[in-house]
Structure 1
């Protein structure tokens, strides 16, 4: 699969069709990052295949290597079998016990020849989106309705804390370290006091949106307390880049406007502060300690003002902070 995308990139330099195909693949990649669940992701893939390659018959399945069984997530069009002359299938290796299989059947022999000619482009597509499919499968394995915060639709506190260690192992983080961002809304209680809980929920939802728009599909978010979110950056091993992500969240949220009165179009702007800590797997520090350190850094950041970013490592022993 990797060779297919490399070849397509080379062709795109001089071939307009290859360039347009590559552009379409990356648009699909961007779109899939906003898929709310595995079923939605499978549906988005089908719609893309239908538009790009006129595919009407498709099955998106999960194959459990350990149990040796297959579960269909989405089936579209007429029923077909993999040994049909007009059918093709692709396996997306997710580096877990569950692999995704996407199979489809051409509508005619002419269509089948067309798909065979487009084989490398289709294979390149599945290589590009494999990380997003992997992440969706990992989430499907763990998530149930009790695992999501009812307001923001991010992970609940209990789920996030209890399952982060398992998630780290399954997500195949080669760097063996993650960065924790403890994010808190500055003076959030004032929103409730001045307006109401409905407006407060809108602020929380907007913050969740800003967070998701700045992180990678491998990174995960949990709501720990009323106005506090924890983000685990799993997707890169560059501490400076992780810090830039945090600062971008602070900047973007400060510009966000929440409508508090539909008639007058009155809006509200708030700020967030972020505490930062690095957690190294198999180190002397436990994950719980790393989370506590990020929380301490957040408290001290809020003590210093609004819209502040602070690493735990930058806190002096002489600093006075109070945990509640």
Structure 2
């Protein structure tokens, strides 16, 4: 018994070292398959009566020879395993070792649960790790609320799509670390030139979305856009501390205004994309305010 416990603990320590939750699930399946001759495995997580399948070794489980095991992890959550045998003989073999399997999965479940929580927190994280700005998840979850609030207060919102000119050239000439420095410098510049009530979102590899709340008209958005473009062009990104080599970059900006240019979030952002496309066509350090008459021939799809 003590020897079995030590073996399980050692295997569990290996699980903890795996960063990818998918590898954790596969490791559990391989262990059960090798040591206890199980045929197939399904792992699910239940929270507040909602089930989420984490792992399935096959989509076609034979329910004729199944064994179900559940391990509570908190007051409202539990990890569930559906073990499938190949045939009746195999099912009896598994049942003969069921005590060891239960002990194994009881210990493994805590590590699995922790990995699940880590993945869930990562998926729900609203902050871009490189720039410290909000990320696309924030936009997807909260932007609709901003439009509703603007409607009630009868205020306009400016959407500025900011893109770095020739950003790929930075990666090609230097590396991703320098690229990250450029992104961080731009994020800092954006925050320096907007109000604390405005929102800066890292929306793509080299693009940001600045949401200007409660603006009077499009002139306010254009003025802030030009201010950002001008101030960022003066920033220096240190490339080589020894030689003091520094890099300067420029940005373009596309502007759309809610509710003047669109009535929903997808359309307003698409219009900002179109405006950024037009700005970049004009050259470096350019800004362009969306205008349906001037841009209605553009099709990104």
Aligned to 2:265: 287
RMSD over aligned CA atoms reads 2.6
Q: 1:284 to 1:153 in 2, by over 3 A?
A: closer
TM-score when normalising by structure 1: 0.51
Aligned to 2:281: 303
Aligned residue among 159, 166, 191 for 1:180: 159
> After superposition, what is the alpha-carbon deviation per residue over 1:206-265, rounded to whole angstroms, capped at 9, x for unaligned?
000110011111110111110000011004223212210000000000110000001011
C-alpha contact (below 8 Å) 2:147/2:265 kept by paired residues:
no
Aligned to 1:213: 192
Structure 1 residue matching 2:197: 3-state secondary structure: coil
Bigger radius of gyration among the two: 2
Q: Report the Cα distance in structure 1 between the residues aligned to 2:199 and 2:152, rounded to whole angstroms.
A: 13
Cα offset, 1:164, TM superposition: 1.1
Aligned to 1:242: 221
The answer on 1:271 being equivalent to 2:250 is yes
Q: Report the Cα distance in structure 1 between the residues aligned to 2:224 and 2:296, rounded to whole angstroms.
A: 28
Q: 1:173 to 1:188 in 2, by over 3 A?
A: farther
Cα offset, 1:315, TM superposition: 5.9
Q: 1:288 to 1:218 in 2, by over 3 A?
A: same
Cα offset, 1:153, TM superposition: 0.8
Cα offset, 1:318, TM superposition: 7.2
Structure 2 residue matching 1:316: 3-state secondary structure: helix
Q: Report the Cα distance in structure 2 between the residues aligned to 1:175 and 1:214, rounded to whole angstroms.
A: 24
Q: Which runs of 5 or more residues in structure 1 are unaligned?
A: 1-143
C-alpha contact (below 8 Å) 2:198/2:213 kept by paired residues:
yes
Q: Which runs of 5 or more residues in structure 2 are unaligned?
A: 1-122
Cα offset, 1:285, TM superposition: 2.3
C-alpha contact (below 8 Å) 2:221/2:255 kept by paired residues:
no
> After superposition, what is the alpha-carbon deviation per residue over 1:23-69, rounded to whole angstroms, capped at 9, x for unaligned?
xxxxxxxxxxxxxxxxxxxxxxxxxxxxxxxxxxxxxxxxxxxxxxx
Structure 2 residue matching 1:165: 3-state secondary structure: helix
Aligned to 1:57: none
The answer on 1:227 being equivalent to 2:206 is yes
Aligned to 2:291: 313
Q: 1:270 to 1:221 in 2, by over 3 A?
A: same
